[in-house]
Each structure stands twice: as structure tokens, then as C-alpha cells.
Structure 1
Amino acid sequence: MGAYQTIDPALAASALEWWHDAGVDLIVGDDPFDWLATPTDEAFAPMPGLALVTLPASPAAIAPAPAALPDTLEAFATWRMGPEAPEQGWTGISLAASGPADAAVMILVDCPDRDDGQAGQLLSGAPGRLFDRMLAAIGLSRDAVHIAAVCARRPAAGRMPRELETRLGEVSRHHVGLVAPKRLLLLGNAASRAILGTEMGQARGILHRLNHRTGTEGSTGEQDTGVVASFHPRFLLEKPVAKAEAWRDLQLLMKDIGA
């Protein structure tokens, strides 16, 4: 650097003013200071005569507590399609559950497929045709089962957002409680996580016991629902080799259902 430099007095004054406003009144002190030491409470103590003020949280930062879910299936179905449902901010349309309110078998999928919106029902198109054949193999039809989705609308990425997973799980378990089926078939990972809290692959092969009134596992008696996790029909279309395993799941679903 040269010996002679031109310093703008205005810039220098501006820098000094900034440091003054920041509280700097001494460049070098007489006592050494350990800059790597862990700060103590005293370091953040307010100046004499000043009090710390706690600002109230922004209204936008306070999440409202979820409203109580309707206690009848009819009211719940209306609420599920209304503005208070968790996924109402998503694009697309919501698809309502279908089937008898007192069905002995309930089917829960993750979300509508792309073609379901045009068809106006869950499990349409090629996955729906395979689903119908699966039901027929165990002596059932769409008219006899209650079909619902964890997400009434299809997420943008086709997968349930993690931040809504807990709430949608609560909604799904409440729905099961209102239907109170003898058997519940969970198709896919998202449905398995919503009800059983675990991935479908880990939940398969077991007839889980769910208290449909409390939403907890391990119950027996009149409030007991037998739960089976299996593959979604769309997966079976991509991996036909898994159909044999899906057939075993269906047999487990219907085992002793009349008992």
C-alpha cells in the first residue's frame, strides 16, 4: 500500500458514529479478555436502570389449538369436506369417504390417486379395478365396505406432508372410531403410520388389535377392531410379484371375522 492515502472524512465519521451507537467506547482495554470463554449470565445482565422487556409472540406464530372433532359420522363427513379440514389449503378437490356407516370392513388408503378426482371416488382407474378384484376374492364389494383416505385431497408431491402427519393420523383414528368396523385394512405406508404408527412393511403379517374408541392398540372386546396392513393396489400393479403376499394379508383380514 502507498504511504499516502486519501481518507474520506465523511466515511470515517459515519463509521465512528456507527460504533458509538453500537456501544463501543474503547478500542483497547487494559485488562485481557478471553474471547473463547463461554458467556455467563452476567454478560447479558441489563444496564443499571434498565429492565428487560419480553415482547409478546406474534399472533401468526401462535398456532390455534385444533377444534374438537365431530362426534357423529354425518357431522364428521361434513367437517372433513369443509374449510377446517387439515388439507383444505391444498390444490385440487376433496374426495369424501364412501360405503355403509356400519360396515364390518373399513379400507383406509393414503390419498386420492391422480385419476380419482375425475372419477369422483377413491380407488378408481387401474388400481381401482385391481382393488375390486381383491374384494371379490374375499367375498366383498365396494357396496359392503367403508372406504376413506388419510388425506382427503392429493398432496402436491403425492405424499403426506410430515408436518401434518400427526393431525391427519388423529383425524383418521377418529374416523375409524365413528365407523367402529370389525376389520380395518390399511393400504400403503401412510395409512399404516396414521393408525399403527409404523411402516407397512413392519406391520404386515400381524392382526393388530385396535380399540377404535381410544385409538390405542392391544384392546379386546366390543370396542376391538382387527387391523391388517398391506400393499396399495398401485404398488401391486408395479410389482405383481407381491400379489401372493397381498393375498395372505386379505386372508388374515377375514380370519374369524364372524367370531
Structure 2
Amino acid sequence: MGADQNIAWHALAASALEWWQDAGVDMLVDDAPRDWFAAPAPPPPAALAPASTTPVAVLEPAEMPASLAEFLTWRNSPAVPEALWGGVAFAATGPATAELMVLVDCPERDDGETLLSGPAGRLFDRMLAAIGTTREAVHLASVCAKRPTAGRVHRDVEAQLAAIAQHHVGLIAPKRLLVLGNAASRAILATDLPDARGRLHAFNHKTGKTGTVVSFHPRFLIEKPAAKPEAWRDLQMLMRNSDA
């Protein structure tokens, strides 16, 4: 048995050569001779990243100020994880006695003097209005006081920032806590947003517990408007459980 004599092998070869030329292949052989029958050389061993010899210690509540005023001052001190980051530190805003606290991940790139003062903030204000409140009535804070370079919480300081955020919630002790975004959900509940949404959580602190709802960050809703009905359901659940 031989090759199929009805196939135009020359035409097929010419077609392959033409495709390679279009793909940018400009030579058919290497500059140096190659032994095509030689066994392939084993790949070089992967370089191992050196293990950290200085583990990052998680801050304990006793190491953080016990009053809100002192805590907010300390939050912009050299003792916090973001101290060496570039950029401006954004302080929390709103009354210390707020019944509703809102926690986001970090300042927005286009924030002015306060958190959520850009386009995402305008949507945030409309979300608050939909549940019958205003920015002036809520305590608004972020997990990161400064914006990380890539806009994401650094994993090497995630546990420290989570401990600080949890302590902050405990100082306010609000009746309700609205957590916006995945990083904020991980900081407060140690759970990613998709798994945390859709149910009420009880966040325990030294003076009691706070009913907590996780939802989408306004920046995500700007990018994915189709998620707004889901966010509205989250807000409705927050209001239904205002006494939780």
C-alpha cells in the first residue's frame, strides 16, 4: 500500500509554506546543525523562592488604640502596614455613633479628599438614598487607608489589615454593617464575596454583634450594571434585618 496518489502533495506543501510565511517564519532550518534523533534535554530545575524568615505578625486588639479618636490618629501613623506605601491616606468619615457602618476595600483612584468622592461615590450616594439614609449618617471606612499600587490588597499584609478593620468595627459597634467588595468581605468574614452574599452574617465584637451584609462595590456595579438588581436585594436584606 502506498500514499494516496489522488492527493496533490506539492500543492499541500506550497500551501503550508505560504502559511508559515504569513505567520512570520523566515527560515526552515536553524543556523546550527540539529540532531533530531537526540533525546530532549531535561528542563532546568525551577528556582525556588526563598522562604521568608520574618513572618508578619498579626496585630492584636491590645496593640491598637481603645478609643476611636486615638485609633483614627494611629491609622495614619508609622505603625500601620500602609505606612511605607505611596499616596495619600484617607481617614474614615461619619459619626462614631452611626447605626450603619460601610466598609470598602481601599480608596478609589479618582477620590478627592474623602473616600468614594468620585463616580463610584455618586453611585454609592444613590444606594444610600435608596435605603433612606445619607453619607453623613453612616460611618464609612476602608480596609486600606491608602490605595495599593495595583488597587488590590497585598496578601502579605492582608491578615494585619483584616485585624485593624475588625477592631475598627468593634469601636463603632454599629447595628448594621454593609461590606462592599471581595477584599472587605475577606477582611471581616474571611470569606470571598460570592460565598458571603445572599445571607445575613453576625459579626461578633467585644460589645456584642453586628448584622452584616456583603454586596458589590459601586465600582463593580458601574462596570457590570446587570448586577444592580442583586445589589438591591442585598440592601433590602440589610434593612429587613436592621435589628439583628
Q: Fold-level match, TM-score > 0.5?
A: yes
Deviations along 1:18-73, one digit per CA (max 9) or x if unpaired, are xxxxxxxxxxxxxxxxxxxxxxxxxxxxxxxxxxxxxxxxxx95867847000000
- Find the counterpart in structure 2 of residue 109 from structure 1: 104
Matches within 5 A, 1:7-46: none
Unmatched tracts of structure 1, length 5 or more: 1-59, 214-221
Which residue in 1 is equivalent to 2:185? 192
How far apart, CA to CA, are the structure 1 residues paired with 2:55 and 2:139? 37
Whichever residue aligns with residue 75 of structure 1, its letter is E
Partner of 1:210: 203
Residues 1-259 of structure 1 mapped to structure 2, 5 A cutoff: 61=54, 66=59, 68-116=63-111, 119-213=112-206, 223-258=208-243
The aligned counterpart of 2:16 is none
With over 3 angstroms needed to count, the CA separation of the structure-2 counterparts of 1:78 and 1:132, relative to structure 1, is same
Shift of 1:212: 2.1
Aligned residues: 190
Q: CA deviation at 1:245?
A: 0.2
**Compared with structure 1, are the counterparts of its residues 123 and 210 closer, same or farther at alpha carbon in structure 2 (3 Å cutoff)?**
same
- Higher mean alpha-carbon deviation, 71-80 vs 61-70, is at 61-70
Question: What is the aligned partner in structure 1 of residue 6 from structure 2?
Answer: none
Between structure 1 and structure 2, the one with the greater Rg is: 1
- In structure 2, the partner of 1:19 is none
> Which aligned segments of 4 or more residues in structure 1 are displaced greater than 6 angstroms?
62-65
Q: 2:179·2:212 contact (CA, 8 Å) conserved in 1?
A: yes
Quote the Cα distance in structure 2 between the aligned partners of 1:88 and 1:233: 27
User: By how many angstroms is 1:115 displaced?
Assistant: 1.1
Q: Taking structure 2 as the reference length, what is the TM-score of the superposition? A: 0.75
Q: Which amino acid aligns with 1:102?
A: T
Question: Following the alignment from structure 1 to structure 2, what is the Cα–Cα distance between the partners of residues 200 and 105?
Answer: 20
Alpha-carbon distance, 1:256 to partner:
3.7
TM-score by length of 1: 0.70
How far apart in 2 are the matches of 1:200 and 1:62? 27
Please tell me the residue identity of whatever aligns with 1:255. R
Identity of aligned residues (%): 59
Distance 1:136 1:228 in 2: 17
Query: For residue 30 of structure 1, what is the aligned residue in structure 2?
Result: none
